[in-house]
């Protein structure tokens, strides 16, 4: 199989000495690592380590970084699980935003946190305190990157079951991020059949954030 220009570029990024160095968290001052982790024990990968690595990769020149955090699919034991997961994540996100501000990167980096759907408003899935998938409504959190943050955009009914007013889809979220990255959402790419394909089919951003 041939390697196209995008794959070549990706290989160059991950094999560069600058990026390899970014993966070595021991190069960070212990005081900063503690700020991200804050002494919390958590089963599995700690969000603080993931977000500190994300910041280091950004400084190394990586344009888009995804930190995948495990353990949030709470079909069982939703409440006890979240009591363990939320405090370390809260502190790690605060550390990331503070760190970016101290380094003068706050307006240059957009942060998006969320999942692909919400959780059932009614409790009880595999266990009495479990919550299943709920595609009708969910929450996404966006910060910095020059966005007009500090807002709650969109609403659900009193039960958190259905969207009230204008629905905000993921394509609108992606269009907003494209704006931050300087990518024209009406851009087309040629597919393997030689046909132009839009980067996004629905290109209206979340105007309240811009």
Instruction: Give the start-to-end residue ranges of the domains of the chain.
Output: 9-167, 168-210
Is the pLDDT score of 79 beyond 90? Answer: yes
Q: Are strands 188-190 and 196-198 parallel, antiparallel or unpaired?
A: antiparallel
pTM: 0.85
d(CA 202, CA 115): 20
Q: Which of 59, 53, 61 is nearest to 95 (CA)?
A: 53
Q: Which of 45, 49, 26 is nearest to 37 (CA)?
A: 49
Is the pLDDT score of 36 beyond 80? Answer: yes
d(CA 70, CA 46): 9
Residue with tokens 């700690």: 46
pLDDT confidence band for 2 (50 / 70 / 90)? low
pLDDT on residue 40: 57
Could you tell me which residues come within 8 angstroms of residue 97 by beta carbon, excluding any fewer than 6 positions away? Answer: 106, 111, 143, 144
Q: What would the mean pLDDT of 80-105 be, rounded to a whole number?
A: 93
Q: What would the mean pLDDT of 6-28 be, rounded to a whole number?
A: 83
pLDDT in tens, 167-192: 999 999 999 999 988 899 889 989 88
């Amino acid at each position: 199989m041939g390697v196209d220009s995008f794959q070549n570029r990706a290989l160059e990024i991950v094999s560069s000495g600058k990026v390899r160095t970014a993966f070595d968290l021991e190069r960070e001052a212990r005081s900063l690592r503690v700020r991200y982790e804050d002494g919390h024990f958590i089963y599995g990968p700690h969000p603080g380590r993931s977000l500190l690595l994300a910041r280091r990769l950004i400084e190394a020149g990586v344009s888009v970084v995804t930190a995948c955090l495990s353990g949030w699919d709470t079909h069982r034991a939703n409440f006890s699980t979240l009591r363990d997961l939320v405090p370390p994540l809260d502190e790690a996100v605060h550390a990331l935003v503070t760190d970016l501000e101290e380094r003068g990167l706050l307006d240059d980096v957009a942060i998006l946190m969320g999942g692909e759907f919400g959780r059932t408003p009614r409790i009880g899935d595999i266990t009495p305190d479990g919550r299943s998938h709920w595609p009708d409504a969910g929450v996404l959190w966006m910060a910095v990157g020059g966005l007009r943050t500090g807002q709650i955009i969109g609403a659900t009914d009193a039960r958190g079951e259905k969207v009230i007013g204008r629905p905000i889809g993921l394509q609108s979220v992606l269009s907003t991020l494209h704006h931050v990255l300087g990518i024209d959402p009406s851009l087309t790419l040629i597919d393997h059949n030689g046909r132009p394909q839009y980067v996004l089919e629905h290109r209206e951003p979340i105007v309240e954030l811009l």
